[in-house]
Structure 1
Amino acid sequence: MATVAGIARHPRSKAPMETLERAHVTLEGGIVGDFRGAMKGKPYRRQITLMERADWDAAMVEVGHAIPWEQRRANLLVDGLDLPQTPGVRLRIGADVVLEVTRETDPCERMEALAEGLRAALTPDWRGGACTMVITGGVIAVGDTIRIEE
């Protein structure tokens, strides 16, 4: 069963990431209090970013480090799910929240500042994660189930 393994947000550009046990998700702001989710533009296609735990772990092995997942600056760490690599696929998190995959999350130069070779380690096969936009808001929590909507 796929689950939310972690939730993180940052209030402004380059601010440290804050990990949470629960978060409110809105159509207008993504994860409430997160800088990226509240960006302007319609539709904004990078409200919430998701990353697979297995992909982060593989990248850490590749670069020989043990950096906390939130340093990737993704909003949600997912466990037990191969994230869909197709824009338009919808994911239901918990009872209410629905996110739509919009594109791959491209690893940025900040990853090289964390560990040499990390940007390259996150590049293949959408290893850096998926960007999504909010379709239906609600509350999410660590441990919530995630499923692909048919």
Structure 2
Amino acid sequence: MAGIARRDRSRGEIQHGLGHVHVSRAAGIAGDFRGALAAQKSSFKRQVSLIEAESWAAAIEDLRLDLPWWVRRNNLLVHGVRLPRQEKFVLGIGDECRLLVTMECDPCSRMEEIAPGLKAALLPDWRGGFLAEVIADGDIAVGDQVRIEL
């Protein structure tokens, strides 16, 4: 795990640089509005969002920009593991946390507010990231191993 970020409301300021956080089925990333909102709606598909560091680097390289990963508004930055480009696989993070990847995180028009062309740069090959549901609670930290547990 290379990074953790959260926000307390839609369009809220991103809290980034977090060293560790609790992740739960009841609330998603502790302190992030998306996980709690999912629990209220009983729809957990969008509880946690994550992006590969390598995919983010490729997108911003295409634009010749230097933007930090958290402007993409994902919760987790994974590094050194290529995630399957498919739905319904399990990621293990740290000792206990498990996420079920539910779908691709398609970039929205908000990306154009950040930088012209960013939405298009994030469209190919799941570069925009992945959405997931928490299936096992746990504490996660930057530096934790991320494992694909198909």
Mark yes or no: TM-score above 0.5. yes
C-alpha RMSD over aligned residues: 0.9
3-state SS of the aligned residue for 1:38? helix
**Alignment-derived partner of residue 116 in structure 1:** 116
Once the two structures are TM-superposed, the CA of residue 43 in structure 1 deviates from its matched residue by: 3.3
Gaps of 5+ in 1: none
How far, CA to CA, are the matches of 2:84 and 2:23 in structure 1?
Answer: 21
How far, CA to CA, are the matches of 1:37 and 1:66 in structure 2?
Answer: 29
Whether contact under 8 Å (1:84, 1:101) holds in the other structure is no
3-state SS of the aligned residue for 2:44? coil
How far, CA to CA, are the matches of 1:35 and 1:42 in structure 2?
Answer: 14
- TM-score, reference length from structure 2: 0.95
**Alignment-derived partner of residue 133 in structure 1:** 133
Single out whichever of 31-40 and 117-126 deviates more from structure 2.
31-40
In structure 2, give the amino acid aligned to 1:139: D
In structure 2, give the amino acid aligned to 1:35: F
1:103 aligns with 2:103: yes
Identity of aligned residues (%): 49
1:52 aligns with 2:52: yes
How far, CA to CA, are the matches of 2:33 and 2:6 in structure 1?
Answer: 8
Structure 1 stretches (4+) deviating beyond 4 angstroms?
Answer: none
Q: 2:32 aligns with which of 34, 37, 41?
A: 34
**Alignment-derived partner of residue 68 in structure 1:** 68
Once the two structures are TM-superposed, the CA of residue 115 in structure 1 deviates from its matched residue by: 1.0
Whether contact under 8 Å (2:83, 2:148) holds in the other structure is no
3-state SS of the aligned residue for 1:37? helix
In structure 1, give the amino acid aligned to 2:53: R
Once the two structures are TM-superposed, the CA of residue 16 in structure 1 deviates from its matched residue by: 1.0
Once the two structures are TM-superposed, the CA of residue 149 in structure 1 deviates from its matched residue by: 1.1
